Amino acid sequence: MKCIIDRRAQFSASHRYWLPELSEAENSDRFGLCARAPGHGHNYVIYVSMIGELDQYGMVLNLSDVKHVIKREVTSQLDFSYLNEAWPEFQQTLPTTENIARIIWQRLQPHLPLHSIRLVEHPELWADYQGNSMEAYLTISTHFSAAHRLAHPALSFEENCEIYGKCARPNGHGHNYHMEVTIKGDIDPRTGMIADLVAFQKAVDDYVVEPFDHTFLNKDIAYFEQVVPTAENIAIHIRDLLQAPIRSIGAQLHKVKLIESPNNSCEVYCTDLALGAIDSLERELVSQG
């Protein structure tokens, strides 16, 4: 029986986004504040996922052994370091979040049966790498506050209450929505980036956060005049809004996760299969009206 196990580790380090072949003005224009000398730092967290068969002792691996491998190969070398100079790989390709995850995979892969590496740079930015050449995933987390009412426009108040319960009350209710947007793409062999992080954040802010924040979704967002703003439908609409802007910055939208409350969340993927299934579900929901 195969199982996936995870081991968490951490290190603190600094880095700078700076290409010596570019001028100071060009570096500043491309990398913004991240180009400032002498650099800036983060408390990085690594999640190492490993896959394997259970042994006779009920373990995939002895986690004490895993801990020592991660410390020997990664954290002891990177902790309190200047990443640009810590490993030779970062002199060729900048130590961005996604590229650090890729290089950590390469360092650990000879020693552990890896499934994936997640590197969290801070609570609102992390990268995932799964061993697929230069392909990686980058996620930003953000939030907006909005109110909504769950009520299908073709149904009576009593019918909506039967379906949606308290959420159908006439004046609606609010949430502090948390949203995770994940893009996928190839790491640039020089900059270390899937896409420009500032442009990625701006696309999410311009197309979702600013239009949605402090609104009553049913009234202020035209899409929800006829579509019930459940968490699922909100996530679908966000996916549709972001796909073209994300393509324009050279990446592919992979996933949108919407966290409505600590108890409720949903996620939609942007693979062809997932898109077809979700679109069919959306059409079915609309047709029921």
Would you call 214 a catalytic residue per the annotation? yes
Would you call 167 a catalytic residue per the annotation? yes
Quote helix, strand, coil % in the chain, to nearest 5. Answer: 40, 30, 30
Would you call 26 a catalytic residue per the annotation? no
Separation CA 243–CA 253 (nearest Å): 6
Give 136's strand partners.
185
Catalytic residue among 135, 167, 178, 282: 167
3-state secondary structure of 5: strand
Separation CA 236–CA 233 (nearest Å): 5
What is the C-alpha R_g of the chain?
22
CB contact burial 21-35 (16+ within 10 A = b; e otherwise) = eeeeeebbebbeebb
* Cα dist from 88 to 75, 82, 149, 218, whole Å: 16, 12, 55, 53
Catalytic residue among 40, 143, 173, 214: 214
Catalytic residue among 175, 254, 260, 270: 260
Give the closest residue to 99 by CA, choosing from 107, 90, 91.
Answer: 90
The residues annotated as belonging to the active site are: 167, 214, 260
